[in-house]
Structure 1
Amino acid sequence: MRHTLPLTPQFYVTAPQPCPYLDGRMERKLFTALQGDSAASLNDALSHQGFRRSQNVLYRPSCTDCSACLSARIDVSKFKPNKSQRRTMRRNLGLQRRATSPWATEEQFDLFRTYLDQRHSDGGMADMDVFEFAAMIEETPIRSRVVEYTDSESRDLVGVSLTDVLEDGLSMVYSFYTPERHQQSLGTYLILDHIEIAREAGLPYVYLGYWVPGSDKMHYKSRFAGLEVYTGDAWQPLGDPARFEDSQHPLNTPPIAEQVANIQLPDILGTRK
């Protein structure tokens, strides 16, 4: 018997588990598979609606009583670096950028392990081995790049970003860097450089993942001018971060069926929601 993929994406929900951003909360995700000839179109369409990619899965937070996680992107045309960000760019003038195909290397994995061990030793990725790392980098059904940053003097690899190329921007799927170089603010620099890459390519946005008000580890994203967040089924300027409270209420998140019904799908095989 011949089996074929469904004509439209099928959406599922993960079981609740402890939230990695806010203590005492439980997270749940709405997700669908990213596969087939229309993977790029689906990734573009759902990225515009707050979804993120992890290998061949697209997901979005769908917690039962919390809506703190907001997908964030930078409007390149409205971005102007502040004084601190200009200093960061000057400190990293000695780095060289190289964009390659999504292929994992031992040097990348060594840097990845160092980053996790020092920055996220208790996180969900802490136990990833070299095979899982290779899958994270290489299992992509869409146009992706690995952007490497190397010290021009020592030739050491100091930063890496797995980046998707969308129709309207760059999506920084996952980034890691040398933790010891505190003065260089490498995490900030990788975002600043992606803004420049997007500008050079004529792409209007840089997608950063989720911004979570109330989470210290996500606060840095609110420092970028031109930041937009996806809320109320639309992108809107962040403005004053203080106006976004990490709300928690039983009626705050619509039922799953309603969420799925409101997702706008691309015109795949003549079908559009």
Structure 2
Amino acid sequence: MVYTKPHIFKPLRTDVLTVTPWLAPIIWEGTFNVDILNEQFRQRNTTVGLTVFAIKKYVVFLQQFLETAETYFMVGHRVKYYIFTDRPEAVPNITLKEGREIIPIRVQNYPRWQEISMRRMEMLNHYAQQRFISEVDFLVCVDADMRFSDHVGVEILSTVFGTIHPSFYAAERQAFTYERRPTSKAYIPQDEGDFYYIGAFFGGTVAEVYKLTEKCHKDIMADKNKSIEAVWQEESHLNKYFVYHKPTKILSPEYLWDNSLGNPKFLKKKRFLAVPKNHAAIRNKRNSNLK
């Protein structure tokens, strides 16, 4: 392979943090060579599972989600798209590259979108043990109301990874919207925490995602038994988990961005973008006007 030699005294990025205090890399454009990484993961014969939940009207996002994933996600590698949905018949039939497969998984619907959000940890935990462990090496868990807009490849894969929330990349701890009520299992004290992670993009090996989702689900149900719901549902519990179980790799805001937040200079790529939508229309089953 032909590539530029790395230099000890010439760091590839000096404008952003590229490694955490616990020595986990933070992935930005310019910090990795995708050709080297692709070869490493091909030698390991890696298969990646991409999980997405399309409950109720969220199936309307699947066409664009899957088409853009075929263009940008794990190009050249085997991928299984696990689509959790209450409407398997609505999953679009798109042309896939060799070695890639769409697998609809029928799941229960819930009246409240908050309940659907929290139950994702339970469903991921169940299928990690029952199915994913024998079918894929890594799981990437994302939201459906997104589109891929640039390369997202094996550079993201690690034992367990999270993604810095695009609204909090420069915020101090006190500004993080952690769960601050001590009565909740998601509680994080004011003087703890490293980053605020978004619940819409996390993953790792199947075994580690199983551990993560098991802990989050148990804590969600413990809260539920006390009539408590964390401020940001499963995202609050994910952040609590990452305070005490540090991720081995962190994805920069390149990997989940919202164009309404502008175009900061440090952001060289926008790899996974939020799709503009009317939240009320999507979440309210009685309202059929999607915008």
For normalisation by structure 2, the TM-score amounts to 0.27
Richer in strand (by share): 1
Richer in helix (by share): 2
**Which structure has more RCO (C-alpha within 8 Å, separation ≥ 6)?**
1
